[in-house]
Chains A and B, each alone.
Chain A
Amino acid sequence: MRGRALVGLLVAASTACGEAAADPEPGALSADAVRYLEDPAAGPAALEAALVNLDNGYARDRRAHYRVGDWLDLPEWRPRVYPARPGETRPVGAPLAAPETDPPRETDAFRALGEALFFDYPVQFVPGLSVALADPARFGLGVTDGRVDGLIWVDAPGGPALALTCAACHSRPTTAGRVEGLGNPDFDLARVVGSAWPPGMADVTADGRDDPMSFPDLRAVRFQHTLNRAATLRNGLLPLAARAETQIIASLGGVARPPRTYALALAVYLFELSETLPAPATTGRGRAVFDAACAHCHAGDGLAGEPVPIDRIGADPYLAESPERRTGYWQVPSLRGVADRERLFAGGEVEGLDALLDPGRAWPGHRFGLVLDAADRAALLTFLRSI
């Protein structure tokens, strides 16, 4: 593992610091994206090249199954779905229009498709979701135009069933409307499934350990150098599409796969979400404080960085050491949009920016930015709230 990881990091370090994935470009899809659609081997190749640690469970599982003759030969998962409305015990009314399976090969078309899938494509069945549908507010789910965000009825083989969509964990309801892509700190999935996690967290690793992580903010995924809290994958449009494709296959129990069009559309949509984030200022006191205190890790336009060794942060290593995802490193996340995030760090150890930069906080991790005078701290907070 260490050799592969080191090579990966060296390659990344040789590129301009702060650069993350460049795709997609406006207009036509890139040649790589088209190849992902047309060549079944393109996704596995992209994922293989992006893996940081070939010895963790995630890598072993994908390398074993994400190939022609196995997962790539699964039937496509395109079920009939219905809106989920508060209080329903069965789907009522007409099904939603089936998503386009062959849209024009343009970024705008794939972004629009990806947005629709983000809210309407079932990614995991969770028996017991009916309790959340009965009382969405109690479970931290928003309601938009009469529909519960993140829940969908599915015409499943055994009868109608509720499923999660991406929006359940990655769309936050606010008084001003939902924020697409932002981790929902209030979604109480644990109460649905009977686990003890706090709201806004879930265990997404099949490693036999209870290691829940906070729902990440996907709006800045374009800027990330790596994907997953444990920096499991190098970032890029194709790795992200392959990641989406394989995580859906895994959550369905390996019985079906999303069409590659859908996986790519989700990746394009997530990359395009970065457009909703304001560009950081390049001058001013707050920016200067940031550059001095934070930019050695959070750099470039994306204010993200290369992964750092686990002990550099001082967070509970339990999550980073998951046998399924571990690389020996933590992802250095993009700080674009950080002010909107309620749960910071993988374990949700810190709630909000004020707590992060409070020198008196109890949590001992991530001590960066704590040795500031009041004026500098205020300027830094103002800067971070502007991005």
Chain B
Amino acid sequence: MNRLALLPILPLCALWSCVRDEVETPADTDAGADAAVLPADASPDGYVEPADALPPVPRVPEKHRPAAEMCDDLRTPGSAMPGIEGASCGADADCTDGDNGRCVDFRGDQQCNYDECFADADCPGMGVCACGGGFWSDNNVCLNDGNCRTDADCGEGGACSPTLGDCGDYAGVVAYYCHTPTDECVDDADCTGTAGRGYCAYNPAAGHWMCSDAQCVG
């Protein structure tokens, strides 16, 4: 059992509210005056209200993002073979619908992929541009489903860390989330051994980091 499990369960902290202030709300979209917004001070069923400022996470995670980074536009040549029947492409030169197209093999099918971004600003919302972060390839991809881009988004002393998902045995980083004082783990090492499960990941249902293992619902 990792030592963080001894922390009492605390209300959602102001670190989250700091992030929330910077997160686009439906009111910021083009939906118009009739679009409802996520109530800033509502209390969704089962959730606790954001509280006043709470202390930062107890230690700096091994993996976190102190600053944004620019991605380069260097890619290795694709793995495609020409003349494959039914293939979407046969060479990198066939991939012209985006930046730095490469014809790569994915599950036995050759298809194009591209660099989706070179900086976080190229990604919507709080998306992070993951340099070479494409699955099965080295393209830059936007990871759009987290709540931070850098540690600064998580408040003073906060940490923005990459997380794996909990569905899929061989998934890479899927998003970046702030650590919280209610975390049950900080690093993967907190989850190994006979008492732990797999790896330390952000659980959206819980709103904090906890030990996880991969299991798609079913």
> Which residues in A have some Cβ–Cβ distance to B below 8 Å?
75-80, 89-95, 98, 123-131, 154-164, 169, 189-191, 193-196, 198, 202-206, 208-210, 213, 215, 247-248, 250-253, 255-256
Main secondary structure of the interface of A (DSSP, over half): loop
User: For window 26-57 of chain B, which residues contact chain A by CB distance below 8 Å?
Assistant: 26, 29, 31, 35-36, 38, 44-47
Main secondary structure of the interface of B (DSSP, over half): loop
The reply to whether the CB of B20 lies closer than 8 angstroms to some CB of chain A is yes
A-B contact pairs, 19 of them (CB 8 A): A76-B45, A79-B47, A90-B29, A92-B31, A92-B35, A126-B174, A128-B165, A157-B206, A158-B177, A159-B16, A189-B216, A193-B216, A204-B215, A206-B214, A210-B170, A250-B215, A250-B217, A251-B216, A253-B212
Q: Please tell me if the beta carbons of A247 and B23 are within 8 angstroms of each other in the complex.
A: no
The residue that A251 contacts in the complex, of B16, B170, B217, with Cβ under 8 A, is B217
Q: Please tell me if the beta carbons of A93 and B35 are within 8 angstroms of each other in the complex.
A: yes
Q: How far is the CA of A90 from the CA of B26 in the complex (A)?
A: 7
Q: How far is the CA of A194 from the CA of B167 in the complex (A)?
A: 9
The reply to whether the CB of B86 lies closer than 8 angstroms to some CB of chain A is no
Q: Please tell me if the beta carbons of B143 and A128 are within 8 angstroms of each other in the complex.
A: yes
Interface residue stretch chosen among B67-75, B77-85, B89-97, B197-205: B197-205
Q: Please tell me if the beta carbons of B45 and A80 are within 8 angstroms of each other in the complex.
A: yes
Q: How far is the CA of A75 from the CA of B23 in the complex (A)?
A: 27
Q: Please tell me if the beta carbons of B172 and A194 are within 8 angstroms of each other in the complex.
A: yes
- Number of A-B residue pairs, CB cutoff 8 Å, is 175
The reply to whether the CB of B12 lies closer than 8 angstroms to some CB of chain A is yes
Given contacts A193-B167, A193-B168, A256-B46, contact A247 B218 (CB under 8 A): yes
How many residues of B sit at the interface, in one of the four size bands?
35 or more
| Residues of B close to A162: CB separation below 8 A | 145
Q: How far is the CA of A79 from the CA of B169 in the complex (A)?
A: 27
Q: How far is the CA of A114 from the CA of B175 in the complex (A)?
A: 32
B92–chain A nearest beta-carbon distance, Å: 21
Q: Please tell me if the beta carbons of A206 and B213 are within 8 angstroms of each other in the complex.
A: yes
Given contacts A158-B177, A204-B216, contact A80 B44 (CB under 8 A): yes
Q: Please tell me if the beta carbons of B168 and A194 are within 8 angstroms of each other in the complex.
A: yes
Q: How far is the CA of A195 from the CA of B23 in the complex (A)?
A: 30
Interface centre among A90, A158, A203 (most CB of B within 10 A): A158
A168–chain B nearest beta-carbon distance, Å: 9
Cβ contacts B153-197/A at 8 Å (1 or 0 each) = 000000000010111111110110110000000000000000000
| Residues of A close to B205: CB separation below 8 A | 77, 125, 156-157, 252-253, 255-256
Q: Please tell me if the beta carbons of B46 and A204 are within 8 angstroms of each other in the complex.
A: no
Leading 7 A-B pairs by shortest Cβ distance:
A157-B207, A204-B218, A193-B168, A194-B135, A251-B217, A206-B215, A127-B174
The residue that A159 contacts in the complex, of B46, B147, B171, B214, with Cβ under 8 A, is B147
B141–chain A nearest beta-carbon distance, Å: 9
The reply to whether the CB of B146 lies closer than 8 angstroms to some CB of chain A is yes
Q: Please tell me if the beta carbons of B169 and A155 are within 8 angstroms of each other in the complex.
A: no
Q: How far is the CA of A252 from the CA of B166 in the complex (A)?
A: 9
The residue that B217 contacts in the complex, of A78, A93, A123, with Cβ under 8 A, is A123
User: For window 9-23 of chain B, which residues contact chain A by CB distance below 8 Å?
Assistant: 12, 16, 19-20, 23
Q: How far is the CA of A191 from the CA of B167 in the complex (A)?
A: 12
| Residues of A close to B136: CB separation below 8 A | 194, 196
If A156-B205, A162-B145 are given as contacts, then 7 extra A-B residue pairs at C-beta distance below 8 Å, sorted by A number, are A77-B46, A94-B36, A124-B167, A128-B171, A159-B23, A190-B107, A248-B217
Q: Please tell me if the beta carbons of B163 and A127 are within 8 angstroms of each other in the complex.
A: yes
Given contacts A75-B46, A204-B216, A251-B217, contact A154 B204 (CB under 8 A): yes
Given contacts A253-B203, A255-B205, contact A195 B144 (CB under 8 A): no
Q: Please tell me if the beta carbons of A253 and B147 are within 8 angstroms of each other in the complex.
A: no
B79–chain A nearest beta-carbon distance, Å: 15
Chain B residue at smallest Cβ distance from A228: B218
| Residues of A close to B218: CB separation below 8 A | 169, 202, 204, 213, 215, 247
Given contacts A90-B26, A94-B36, contact A195 B171 (CB under 8 A): yes
| Residues of B close to A128: CB separation below 8 A | 143, 145, 165, 171, 174-175
Q: How far is the CA of A164 from the CA of B168 in the complex (A)?
A: 14
Q: Please tell me if the beta carbons of A193 and B165 are within 8 angstroms of each other in the complex.
A: yes
Q: Please tell me if the beta carbons of A158 and B178 are within 8 angstroms of each other in the complex.
A: yes
B85–chain A nearest beta-carbon distance, Å: 18
| Residues of B close to A213: CB separation below 8 A | 218
Q: How far is the CA of A110 from the CA of B205 in the complex (A)?
A: 25
